[in-house]
Amino acid sequence: MTNNVGSRDKSRVTKLTITAMLTAVAVVLQYVEVPVPMLVPSFLKFDFSDLPELIGAFVMGPMWGVLICLLKNLIHLPFGSSVGVGEFSNFLLGAVFVFTAGMIYKHNMTKKGALIACFVGAAVMAVVSIPSNFFVVYPAYAQLWAHGDMSIIIGLYKAILPAADDLMKCLLIFNVPFTLVKGILVSIIAMLVYKPLSNVFVKLNQSLNKKPEKTKKEAE
């Protein structure tokens, strides 16, 4: 009984250590934003901070990936310029992505299962982005930055494609493909780095759970 409790405690310590490491990487990656000029409005930028969350979901389980996503955005919150709206959107979509992928991979822990998990997670994230942006995120941005005038935000899309003359068209034409491509890019990178990183985490787990050697006096 005592050994089982000790094993659970060591496993929890290992997971918390990995979570802290991946959260730190996610926080850094959140500041590395890549613009996509001429294809989407300037305020839409790629960042790859979902990558550590996805790795965490695969290594430890979907809820750990969601936790990394939450911690990342809580840390970023005091330094953001969107009064929490951007962090809320990032958390919601990131959590949907990694939870979906993590749940699928949990039940099919193969390379094919990981591939399916990643692409389904990216697709679900893209779909969820429609209602979240339409009903919450963009109305909040309009209140914060455009005095409640949604046409100012839509105008940024119309400057690229005049046919994008209402919010739903903007989201379907620009945001959904943008979100889907972002998820796919993160998934491709995850597939490339997951195996080497998982080996590192296995060694970390072994190191943290290594039993201390008995001293000569204890052995006697």
Domain that holds residue 134: 2-34+46-207
> What's residue 81's pLDDT?
83
Q: Does 39 reside within a domain?
A: no
Give every CB contact of residue 6 below 8 A, 6+ residues apart in sequence.
Answer: none
Distance from C-alpha of 174 to C-alpha of 22, rounded to nearest angstrom: 30
The answer as to whether 15 is a domain residue is yes
The H or E element that residue 28 is part of is helix 2-30
Residue 213 domain-assigned? no
Q: How far apart are CA 117 and CA 126, in angstroms?
A: 14
Q: What is the pLDDT of residues 64-76, one digit of tens each?
A: 999 999 999 999 9
- Give the number of C-alpha atoms closer than 13 A to the C-alpha of residue 99, restricted to the C-beta side: 14
Domain CATH for 67: 1.10.1760.20
Task: Supply the pLDDT for residue 152.
Answer: 94
Measured torsion, CA atoms of residues 21, 25, 28, 33, in degrees rounded to the nearest 10: -160
Angle between helices 176-208 and 2-30 (to 10 degrees): 140
% of residues, the chain, pLDDT over 70: 87
pLDDT at res. 218: 40
Please give the tally of structural domains in the chain: 1
Residue 220 lies in a domain: no
Residue 22: inside a domain, yes or no? yes
- Indicate whether 40 belongs to any domain: no
pLDDT digits (tens, 9 = 90+) for 181-200: 999 999 999 999 988 877 77
**In-domain check, residue 11:** yes
* Domain assignment present for 10: yes
